[in-house]
Amino acid sequence: MKRNRDLSSPAHSAYSEVAFVDPKKEDQSSPCKILPFRNRPSQFDKIKNILRQASDYKIGPIFIKGNRIWVICYGSIEWMNREQLEEETERIAFLLERKLANFKICVRLEEEGYVFQ
């Protein structure tokens, strides 16, 4: 059995108000408004923003796989002893974990210009 749908009924009154807008034409009056599209920041952008606010280190590669994040930062760390280096690494990891609670985070600080072999 085929149903006849009457689109002019009050239940379907929203269909009569929809107007299609041609973006090439400037002056169009329609009840329909087009909202601007905003990109949501990705996880990489969030991590970079957190690191920029937290420290002056140059941001290196960021790897995300599953629920783990690996971050490498470059800076002048030659003056730091081992304890200071561990404290600074833990501080940056703590800030990232506070903002990105669903991830396990590993931070590595390296000397700028140092080539890992």
Where are the domains positioned within the chain?
A: 43-111
- Tell me, what DSSP letter sits at residue 10? G
Q: What is the dihedral of CA 67, 101, 57, 61, to 10 degrees?
A: 20
From first to last of its 117 residues, what are the pLDDT tens digits of the chain?
Answer: 556 555 555 554 444 444 445 555 555 555 555 555 566 678 888 899 999 998 888 999 999 998 899 999 998 888 888 899 999 999 999 999 998 888 999 999 988 776 555
Residues 43-111, CATH architecture:
2-Layer Sandwich (3.30)
CB 43 within 8 A of CB 62: no
Task: Work out the number of other CB atoms within 10 angstroms of the CB of residue 117.
Answer: 3
Q: What is the DSSP letter of 9?
A: S
- Pairing verdict, β 68-75 and 104-111: parallel
